[in-house]
Amino acid sequence: MNQEQVVVIGGGLAGLSCAVALADRGLKVTVLEAAPGLGGRASSWAEAATSDVVDIGPHIFHSEYHNMLTFLERLGTSRLITWQPGKVLTIASQPQALALEHAPLPAPMSLMPSIFKAPGLHLEDYLSMAPTALRGMEFGEEEVEQLDAISALDFLRQEGVSDNMIDWWWRFAAMVVTNVPLERCSAASLLRVHAQLSGYKDLHFGFGAVGLGELYTDQATKFIEDAGGRVLTSVKVASLLLDRRIDGVLLDDGTKLFAETTVSAVPPQQLFDMLPPSLATQAPFDQFDQFEPSPYISCYLWFDRDLETERFFAHKWSPRRLNYDFYDLCQIRHGWEGRPTVIASNIIYSHRAHGMTDEEIVRETVAEIAEFAPLAAQAKVVHADIHRIPMAIPCPTVGFERKRPPARSPVPGLVLAGDWTRTHMPCTMEGAVKSGFTAAEAVLAERGEHLQLAIPARTYDGIAGMVRSAAAGKRGVPPAPESQG
CA-closest candidate to residue 160, choices 133, 181, 134, 132: 132
**Residue numbers of the domain that contains 299:** 293-394
- Is 353 part of any domain? yes
pLDDT digits (tens, 9 = 90+) for 340-375: 999 999 999 999 999 999 999 999 999 999 999 999
Mark whether 273 and 332 lie in a shared domain.
Answer: no
Per-residue pLDDT at 96: 85
Rounded-to-integer distance, Cα 123 and Cα 398, Å: 31
Look at residue 199 and tell me if it is in a domain: yes
Domain of residue 234, CATH code: 3.50.50.60
Closest CA to 419 of 427, 407, 409, 411: 427
Residues 305 and 262 in one domain: no
Is residue 236 one of the residues assigned to a domain?
A: yes
pLDDT band at 484 (very low <50, low <70, confident <90, very high): very low
* Residue 27 to residues 19, 22, 228, 441, Cα–Cα distance (Å): 9, 6, 8, 13
| 481 has pLDDT over 60 | no
In a domain? residue 135: yes
pLDDT, tens only, 405-437: 999 999 999 999 999 999 999 999 999 999 999
pLDDT tens digits, residue range 162-192? 999 999 999 999 999 999 999 999 999 999 9
Q: How confident is the model at residue 123 (pLDDT cuts 50, 70, 90)?
A: very high
**Looking at the structure, do residues 286 and 403 belong to the same domain, yes or no?**
yes
What are the pLDDT digits (tens) for 205-260? 999 999 999 999 999 999 999 999 999 999 999 999 999 999 999 999 999 999 99
Q: Are residues 124 and 255 in the same domain?
A: no
The pLDDT tens digits of the residues spanning 137-156 come to 999 899 999 999 999 999 99
Closest CA to 250 of 258, 330, 407, 149: 258
* Residues 250 and 239 sit within 8 Å (Cβ to Cβ): yes
Q: Final residue of a domain: which of 353, 368, 394?
A: 394
Q: Which of 12-16, 97-101, 254-258, 475-479 has the lowest mean pLDDT?
A: 475-479
373 class by beta-carbon count within 10 Å (0-12 exposed, 13-18 middle, 19+ buried):
buried
Share of the chain above pLDDT 90, in %: 90
pLDDT of residue 242: 95
Cα 425 → chain centroid: 9
Question: Is the predicted pLDDT of residue 44 greater than 60, yes or no?
Answer: yes
Residue 484 lies in a domain: no
Whether the Cβ atoms of residue 417 and residue 264 lie closer than 8 Å to each other: yes
**Burial class for 336, CB neighbours closer than 10 Å (0-12, 13-18, 19+):** middle
- Asked if the structure places residue 50 within a domain, the reply is no
Report cis status (omega within 30 of 0) of the bond before 108.
yes
Using CA atoms, how far apart are residues 404 and 284, in angstroms rounded to an integer?
9
Residues 349 and 255 reside in one and the same domain: no
In a domain, 66, yes or no: no
Confidence class for position 483, pLDDT limits 50, 70, 90: very low
Question: CA–CA separation, 152 vs 154, rounded Å?
Answer: 5
407 and 311 within one domain: no
User: What's 317's domain CATH number?
Assistant: 3.90.660.20
Number of domains into which the chain is organized: 3
> What does the pLDDT average to over 471-476?
84
The answer on 114 and 194 residing in a single domain is yes
Q: Is residue 49 part of a domain?
A: no
Against a cut of 0.85, is the pTM above it? yes
Reported as a single tens digit per residue, the pLDDT across 64-114 is: 999 999 999 999 999 999 999 889 999 998 788 999 999 999 988 998 999
In this structure, the answer to whether residues 120 and 241 fall within a common structural domain is no
Asked whether the beta carbons of 212 and 39 are under 8 A apart, the reply is: yes
Predicted confidence at residue 1, as pLDDT, reads 60
State which amino acid sits at residue 133.
A
Cα separation, 57 vs 77, in Å, equals 20
Residue 255 shares a structural domain with residue 343: no
Pair (276, 414) in one structural domain: yes
Q: Same domain, yes or no, for 284 and 311?
A: no
Do residues 181 and 268 share a domain?
no
